[in-house]
Structure 1
Amino acid sequence: MNNPVMEQSTPRNVSRRGLITGTGSLLGSAALGGRALAATPRHGRAAAPGAAPRDASIADGAQVPALVIGSGYGGCVAALRLAEAGVDVQLVEMGMAWDTPGADGEIFANTTDPDQRSYWLRTRTKQPISNFLGFPIDRDIARYTGILDAEDFSGITVYQGRGVGGGSLVNGGMAVTPRRENFGAILPTVNSAEMYGTYYPRANTALGVAAIDPDWFETTECYQYARVGRRHAQRSGFPFVFVPDVYDWAYMKQEAAGAVPKSALAGEILYGNNHGKKSLQKTYLPRIRATGKVTVSPLHKVTTVRPASGGGYTVTLEQLDTGGATTATKEVTADRVFFAAGSVGTSKLLVALRASGALPRLNEEIGKGWGDNGNVMCGRANHLWDPTGSLQSSIPTAGIDNWAAGGAFAEVAPLPTGIETFASFYLSITRNPHRAEFSWNSGAGRVELNWQTAWKRESIDMAKSIFDKINAKEGTIYRTDLFGTYKIWGDHLTYHPLGGAVLGKATDNYGRLHGHPGLYVIDGALIPGNTSVNPFVTITALAERNIEKIIATDL
């Protein structure tokens, strides 16, 4: 930060080393986007071990004690704990079950070979790293209820998981508990002693969080890129920290030894992981199934929730086919409804329900306090004597912590192209102060978000507090070929949407929605825009805290 380097953004500023590095990246585009489409997957009824029941479907006219909308972290916590308390639960999910292999023998598509399984109802991929040397690498695909939703709003694209297991299906698995000294800024109305003494430990145990073997990290080929990231960070005086993950580290060692099918070492991450990652399919969902109290209904989209005349709530759902068409409309009654459709899904639904008059007593805080967790990405072009390796585990396991001094925590991320790129790549989480709002556009008949791309400037400056200094120390430059032509920063997206129904504002201090008893928010919409780290452990821990209180006092 004391010795900033000018961003290299024109051809005459690129050194011979940078040109060579960029040429290697052009070859990488073939690895990322040049292979043939896989065959359309078959969807039978054979369930994979640990998957939720595939053939469950909520019945039209059903009356249920509890309906949970969404099967991500918050939804799975709610469903499990309610079921353990003896409550019958209907868990409805807009995405697919993801329990049946396709024609290639795998459930999920590989990151380097996206096909129709990869994207939610798109006819062209929208990859976060969209370019190499400025050349676009997106491709046409068949429209399908795929696993990753790249939802476009004004000023930002929000990446979300679609399927039973929600965001756990598509994230990198970095299971980070925020530093306690930062917690007060995240959730000021929540007792931090309870969170760190009870609910974070409970969440970490249930999610199967574990740390990499440090000795293996030092020697394995697949984390050479992370060791390069460490060396550069430490030479510039930044703390380099290992962070836990939800990958099966014993399995990854077997991958490296060639003893099992490759998963992380085959680059699987963005469109699902076929073997080693402990997503919710392998943690909470088997426990949910074992209760015998939960029915899981994939490909069901909630469109309306309104008070029922006899008490409780009438919920209207559309059943979808894999092309996104509605095949049936159902109406059910639930005593209690838990909104767990993710920050965006929950916020959009609640805003629409208030605007339509279906839930008129929702307060003015609905839709507010939304943030992107300060996400911004960048790459650096290293020297030829600093190769990052052609074999890179897709599971990140370390970061650069400059939160206190510069407002940024940077995940040392992989670029698993299968070739040497001499590139270091980072996803930064920053202390971005901006908060957007969802609102109803009556003319267009939709919910909109008023995020502004210009608000990412603060995130870029915070990330630069790390990478300008590293570039100055190492004599390196930023990559300009990953996000467009001569574009350094990936400032167009977020992987970590948070907020929109903030705890203590849109809800009480345990997620009860104001104005409508029996309605609850139990997902990332409760968290006001930032967690200082990857957010899913905090979402899980908060859900564990809230549902314990709700069961004890409301049921």
Structure 2
Amino acid sequence: MSDTTMHDAGSKSVSRRRFIAGTSSVLGAMALFGHATSAQAKAVSTAAPVSSGTHVPVLVIGTGYGGSVAALRLAQAGVDVHMIEMGMAWDTPGPDGKIFANTTQPDNRSYWLRTKTKQPLSNFLGFPIDKAVSRYTGILDAEEFGGITVYQGRGVGGGSLVNGGMAVTPKRENFGAILPSVNADEMYNIYYPRANAGLGVNTIDPAWFETAECYQYARVGRKQAQRSGFPFVFVPTVYDWDYMKQEAAGTVPRSALDGEILYGNNYGKKSLAKTYIAQIKATGKVTISPLHKVTSVAPAAGGGYTVVIDQIDTNGDTTATKSVTADKVFFAAGSVGTSKLLVTLKATGALPRLNDEIGKGWGDNGNVMCGRANHLWDQTGRVQASIPTGGIDNWANGGAFAEVAPLPTGIETYASFYLTITKNPNRAEFSWNAATSKVDLSWQTSWKQPSIDAAKTIFDKINKAEGTIYRTDLFGTYKIWGDHLTYHPLGGAVLNKATDNYGRLHGYSGLYVIDGSLIPGNTSVNPFVTITALAERNIEEIIAADL
């Protein structure tokens, strides 16, 4: 059924006048998102970057979950490590005194080398809300391929800087479909607990949840899910709940309660910078070079690998090209970054012995978004914590797990918003395009239909029970589904196919993959705990056997 058909079906369509009346005014909506500000943040680390001609025992490409795990455990084993990060360090406040920009007031810090924001929720009450910004090496990359936009974090800490902090371990019964070659007993007895401890995962105080104004939206979501027969589950997060309670009490600067999520969180969220990377820095064995981009990895004449690296400025322009020799290289640039680099290196002859599995098995974790327009008596709250803490679990019966997500707009919207993770079987492939000298992705927007169908197993039923409708104004004009994006890219260098069962790349000794590209497309929940746990498993074996 098309979006338009669904919108017009039966008596549940509503007039524009009634719709606007039920969701505050147009003027309020425009004020809500403000204007892009012109603050020019300076957030570049003062640490000396890597020098050309340097020899390092281990070079890690990327500072996200997998790369941070690898660097920490290698350093603790006594190995000197150098980490290369394309984004900035994000350790210096901007003119407003904060490191990260607010969600409702994007500025140059918000986006990676764009001149206009590309927010996942692109419209409100029928009006586009994207704004002009200055080109800058900002924190959120909205990377566009032919059929999908992939959101990725840019900076030291990778995706941990921009995600919603939902730290979910998959149900044991689903694990065999996620990583079939991995011993589930080891993961659930050793590596998931290790990852959760390292990430600082904790759970909300359920008694506080029941009364907190900022989670009214989640309580409405729970009530409606349960009335339709769906289980509502609390999910762990990496937010500091004591800090959030103080935010609610007004005794500390607001962070989650000020809507901070898309472009970083200034205070309460435990990103990698506060967990694994803080421990990395304490070892004294690891150096991190921000604003550096690896362009080539090839066997060196004397052994090891020659790594070519471009240093860039905050406009994205190359200011220096360096050559480093590394005994071992870990690819940890994220599913997209690692896959694109490996595909390029294989196609252009730098690493021709990589096998034909490189670039394959990529998926979007079944991501699809939607909103529902509630009745006027079901207010979701003017103040909404930006950290989701609950979900609707219909994985067993409909292949869908839906985050009850915030709309931290600062006004009452009478809306419920969801990011759903679904059992979508479609897999895409990265491939080298010789005509453009770029890497393409074969994903097609139509491949989102299984995700939409799975999401409808939840929300069609809730709408029927509640007498409500889908919102049609959040992703365009009369468009129900946010089927154009993913926050959870996975695959492209799949474990036990492109690599051995511990991430060693076939064809080359001393080259490893240790990030989300190892996972074939879906984790059934938010993926970063699984990425972290798999990295903990793999690096333990690599240190024992290879170092």
TM-score of the two chains, using structure 2 as the length reference: 0.97
Q: Write out aligned runs for 1:112-151 (5 A).
A: 112-151=104-143
Amino acid in structure 1 at the alignment position of 2:7: Q
Per-residue deviation, residues 489-511 of structure 1 (Å, max 9, x unmatched): 00000000000000000000000
Amino acid in structure 1 at the alignment position of 2:216: Q
Instruction: Please say if residues 338 and 522 of structure 1, whose CA atoms lie closer than 8 Å, have aligned partners that are also in contact.
Output: yes
Per-residue deviation, residues 64-90 of structure 1 (Å, max 9, x unmatched): 100000000000000000000010000
Identity %: 76
Q: What's the counterpart of residue 468 of structure 2? A: 476
Unaligned ranges ≥5, structure 2 = none
Mean Cα deviation higher: 224-233 or 14-23: 14-23
2:27 aligned with 1:35: no
CA displacement at 1:35 relative to structure 2? 3.1
2:181 aligned with 1:182: no
Q: What's the counterpart of residue 338 of structure 2? A: 346
Q: What's the counterpart of residue 80 of structure 1? A: 72
2:411 aligned with 1:410: no
Q: What's the counterpart of residue 449 of structure 2? A: 457
Q: 1:36 to 1:365 in 2, by over 3 A?
A: closer
Counterpart-to-counterpart distance in 2, 1:77 and 1:148 = 22
CA displacement at 1:471 relative to structure 2? 0.1
Per-residue deviation, residues 395-420 of structure 1 (Å, max 9, x unmatched): 00000000000000000000000000
Q: What secondary structure, in the 3-state scheme, does the structure 1 residue paired with 2:28 have? A: helix
Instruction: Please say if residues 68 and 338 of structure 1, whose CA atoms lie closer than 8 Å, have aligned partners that are also in contact.
Output: yes
Q: What's the counterpart of residue 194 of structure 1? A: 186
Instruction: Please say if residues 21 and 423 of structure 1, whose CA atoms lie closer than 8 Å, have aligned partners that are also in contact.
Output: no
Q: What's the counterpart of residue 374 of structure 1? A: 366
Q: What secondary structure, in the 3-state scheme, does the structure 2 residue paired with 1:7 have? A: helix
2:298 aligned with 1:299: no
Amino acid in structure 2 at the alignment position of 1:513: L
Counterpart-to-counterpart distance in 2, 1:83 and 1:206 = 15
Counterpart-to-counterpart distance in 2, 1:182 and 1:25 = 44
Instruction: Please say if residues 28 and 418 of structure 1, whose CA atoms lie closer than 8 Å, have aligned partners that are also in contact.
Output: no
Amino acid in structure 1 at the alignment position of 2:443: W
Counterpart-to-counterpart distance in 1, 2:356 and 2:528 = 27
CA displacement at 1:56 relative to structure 2? 3.2
Instruction: Please say if residues 241 and 401 of structure 1, whose CA atoms lie closer than 8 Å, have aligned partners that are also in contact.
Output: yes
Counterpart-to-counterpart distance in 2, 1:445 and 1:410 = 38
Number of aligned residues: 542
Counterpart-to-counterpart distance in 2, 1:82 and 1:173 = 26
Instruction: Please say if residues 7 and 477 of structure 1, whose CA atoms lie closer than 8 Å, have aligned partners that are also in contact.
Output: no
Q: What's the counterpart of residue 534 of structure 1? A: 526
Counterpart of 1:285 (choices 262, 272, 277) is 277
Amino acid in structure 2 at the alignment position of 1:30: A
CA displacement at 1:36 relative to structure 2? 5.0
CA displacement at 1:9 relative to structure 2? 4.8
2:421 aligned with 1:429: yes
Counterpart of 1:363 (choices 355, 358, 379) is 355
Counterpart-to-counterpart distance in 2, 1:26 and 1:466 = 33
Unaligned ranges ≥5, structure 1 = 46-53
Q: Write out aligned runs for 1:30-109 (5 A).
A: 30-32=31-33, 34-35=34-35, 37-43=37-43, 54-109=46-101
Q: 1:43 to 1:544 in 2, by over 3 A?
A: closer
CA displacement at 1:25 relative to structure 2? 6.6
CA displacement at 1:12 relative to structure 2? 9.5
CA displacement at 1:457 relative to structure 2? 0.6
Counterpart-to-counterpart distance in 1, 2:339 and 2:89 = 23
Q: Write out aligned runs for 1:207-286 (5 A).
A: 207-286=199-278
Q: What's the counterpart of residue 14 of structure 1? A: 14
Q: What's the counterpart of residue 172 of structure 1? A: 164
CA displacement at 1:117 relative to structure 2? 0.3
Amino acid in structure 1 at the alignment position of 2:498: A
CA displacement at 1:28 relative to structure 2? 2.7
CA displacement at 1:31 relative to structure 2? 1.1
Counterpart-to-counterpart distance in 1, 2:5 and 2:37 = 41
Counterpart-to-counterpart distance in 1, 2:299 and 2:326 = 10
Q: What secondary structure, in the 3-state scheme, does the structure 2 residue paired with 1:155 have? A: coil
Q: What's the counterpart of residue 158 of structure 1? A: 150
CA displacement at 1:42 relative to structure 2? 3.1
Counterpart-to-counterpart distance in 2, 1:62 and 1:37 = 40
Q: What's the counterpart of residue 513 of structure 2? A: 521
Counterpart-to-counterpart distance in 2, 1:379 and 1:44 = 37
CA RMSD of aligned residues (A): 1.4
Counterpart-to-counterpart distance in 1, 2:322 and 2:30 = 45
Amino acid in structure 1 at the alignment position of 2:351: L
Counterpart-to-counterpart distance in 2, 1:255 and 1:87 = 41
Per-residue deviation, residues 171-227 of structure 1 (Å, max 9, x unmatched): 000000000000000000000000000000000000000000000000010000000
CA displacement at 1:39 relative to structure 2? 1.7
Return structure 1 stretches of 4+ with deviation > 6 angstroms.
none
Amino acid in structure 2 at the alignment position of 1:40: Q
Q: What's the counterpart of residue 51 of structure 1? A: none
Instruction: Please say if residues 9 and 486 of structure 1, whose CA atoms lie closer than 8 Å, have aligned partners that are also in contact.
Output: no
Q: What's the counterpart of residue 487 of structure 2? A: 495
Counterpart-to-counterpart distance in 1, 2:488 and 2:286 = 28
Q: 1:526 to 1:224 in 2, by over 3 A?
A: same
CA displacement at 1:55 relative to structure 2? 1.1
Amino acid in structure 1 at the alignment position of 2:13: N
